Amino acid sequence: MSGNRKNHRANQSRTIKVDYLARVEGEGALYVRVRNGQLQDVKLKIFEPPRFFEALLRGRRFTEAPDITARICGICPIAYLNCSIHAMEDACGVKINGPIRELRRLIYCGEWIESHVLHVAMLHAPDFLGYDDAIRMAKDHTEIVQAALRLKKVGNEIVRVVGGREIHPVNMRVGGFYRAPRKFELTALAEDLKWARDTAIELIRWTAGLSFPDLERDYEFVTLRHAEEYPLNEGRLVSNKGLDIPVSDFYSTFVEEQVQHSHALHSTVRNRGTYLVGPLARYSLNFDHLTPLAQETALSVGLDKVCRNPFQSIIVRSVETLYACEEALRIIEAYEEPDRPYVEIAPQAGRGYGCTEAPRGTLFHTYRIDEQGIILDARIVPPTAQNQKTIEADLREFVPKHLDLSTDELTWKCEQAVRNYDPCISCATHFLKLELDRE
């Protein structure tokens, strides 16, 4: 964090500038300009170089997309694997049910646990407690850091057992898995998951005890919604402002546009404006599909059924961690080994759509393939890109209310506000430094 270290009064001009936002994935910056006590500009800049994955996919076989796109992110490869697999199966007119579908949910639960716990305890909590990082925080909060490390490991173990290894899993493919885990391999995870479920409840209580800046916004929440379950791999795209579409209507509803200050495309709802994807949206529009224990624990710590304070996303991530532990336990208990680990899928010419809930929010893939299964075009819309305009909008509302803070304090709060979104700039790539300009 760099910036003017002098304190300023609200009526002065200043610039908040964070050259490299810490504790976010990838390279980006934030620029905030204040003149004569008035907020003039907020820009979230993503300058992680574009990866051109979409171009790289053209000409490859439809079966290669999962493992190629999984390399877009080291934190959420399962999201990319699941999303591209669903899109390819959709293009080929195949729908997979039974144990394979359940295994896909299970491995996604593993990724949610590891990603959410990393962000909640190691990256976001230090903001609330006034520490520069988790290492300094660990000196005063050793127990929570140790619990978080063990909790995250439970998520890693799910990914390792189902995905073949915890880093860049290699076991998922179009049609299913290369190898289905044996029942006993999954059952072996149950004891740790029961501990994780109990620890997640403690994590919810602990995060709910933090102090939250006062900010409630009238977001358009966008999320997948499924008739019977909390959304992971399937559902319709819905919002609290009337949206209810199949995922194939993504591009007729959402618009992507280039802006000069970011390598990542900005997304809006056509003719309406910014929207929010991620834990707040999922939770607020799918509260009824959380487990009774997750609902009860959320309500018991004072979280409403709808959460509009982006800073409280840290509690919501903890609630989703509890949900993921319980869902994983349910799947493991009911699991029956499939006769075959995958369904052989013959390619057919056409377009397919995949939309899943990555830890950071809705991830969308679409591919067009020919009759040989060669990819003709590919488009990927990651959650962080969709949230960019909303992050800027949060800051436009937040900064004017806190101009009495010193530049150091205001810069800190701005970074914290960006980290509400656990932004994954590497995924957005088409993204963070912070600059508060008030002269």
Query: Is residue 430 within the footprint of another protein (CB under 8 A)?
Result: no
Token pair 């992050």: residue: 391
**Residues 123-142 as x/- pattern, contact with another protein by CB under 8 A:** x---------xxx--xx--x
Backbone phi and psi for residue 366, each to the nearest 5 degrees, phi listed first: -140, 140
Q: Which stretch binds another protein (CB under 8 A): 145-153, 259-267, 368-376, 402-410?
A: 145-153
Query: Of 157 and 392, which CB lies nearer to another protein in the complex structure?
Result: 157
Beta pairing, strands 375-381 & 434-437: unpaired
* Whole-number Å distance between alpha carbons of 222 and 285: 8
The interface with another protein within residues 375-414 (CB under 8 A) comprises none
In 204-304 the beta strands, taken as DSSP E runs, fall at 222-225, 236-239, 244-245, 254-257, 266-269
HSE, side-chain direction, 13 A CA sphere, residue 98: 14
Least distance (Å) between residue 74 CB and another protein: 5
Out of 18, 70, 122, 147, the residue judged to bind another protein by CB under 8 A: 122
> Two tokens at 332?
């493991």
Q: Which one of 4, 14, 18, 25 is in contact with another protein (CB under 8 A)?
A: 25
What ranges make up the beta strands (E) of 229-349? 236-239, 244-245, 254-257, 266-269
Q: Which residue has the tokens 């209310």?
A: 401
Of the candidate residues 15, 16, 18, 24, the single one contacting another protein (CB under 8 A): 24
Residue closer to another protein by CB (options 17, 141) is: 141
Closer to another protein by Cβ: residue 325 or 399: 325
Contact yes or no for 189/324 (Cβ under 8 A):
no
C-alpha R_g of the chain: 21
Cβ distance to another protein smaller for residue 165 or 396 = 165
* Closer CB to another protein, 24 or 325, in the complex: 24
CA–centroid distance for 324 within its chain: 14
Site map (CB under 8 A) of another protein, residues 164-203, x = contact: xxxxx-xx------xx------------------------
DSSP 132: S
Q: Name the minimum Å distance from CB 349 to another protein.
A: 29
Quote the least distance from Cβ 51 to another protein, whole Å: 6
Segment contacting another protein by CB under 8 A, of 159-167, 199-207, 245-253, 351-359? 159-167
Closest to another protein by CB, 68 or 245: 68
Least separation in angstroms between CB 367 and another protein: 21
Select 125 or 294, whichever has its Cβ closest to another protein.
125
In the bound state with another protein, the residue whose beta carbon lies nearer, of 23 and 266, is 23
Indicate which single residue of 146, 258, 300, 372 sits in contact with another protein (rule: CB under 8 A): 146
Q: Which is nearer to another protein, 197 or 419 (CB)?
A: 419
Give 368's DSSP letter. Answer: E
Residue placing its CB nearer to another protein in the complex, 23 or 365: 23
Burial of 343 (0-12, 13-18, 19+ CB in 10 A): middle
Q: Which stretch binds another protein (CB under 8 A): 68-76, 85-93, 218-226, 362-370?
A: 68-76
Instruction: Let me know: does 268 contact 220? Beta carbons within 8 Å.
Output: no
Q: How far from each other are the two terminal CA atoms of the chain, in whole angstroms? A: 17
Output the CA angle 171-189-344, nearest 5 degrees: 25
DSSP helix, strand, coil percent of the chain (3-state; round to 5): 45, 20, 35
Q: Which residue from 45, 105, 152, 360 is in contact with another protein, where contact means CB under 8 A?
A: 152
Smallest gap from Cβ 422 to another protein, in A, equals: 8
Does residue 153 belong to the site contacting another protein (CB under 8 A)? yes
The contacts of residue 272 (CB under 8 Å, 6+ apart) are 220, 241
Nearer to another protein (CB atom), residue 14 or residue 160: 160
Strands 176-177 and 222-225: unpaired
**Which residues on neighbouring strands pair with residue 381, listed in sequence order?**
364
> In this structure, which amino acid lies at residue 386?
Q
Contact residues for another protein (CB under 8 A)? 22-25, 49, 51-52, 71, 74-75, 118-119, 122-123, 133-135, 138-139, 142, 145-146, 149, 152-153, 156, 160, 164-168, 170-171, 178-179, 422
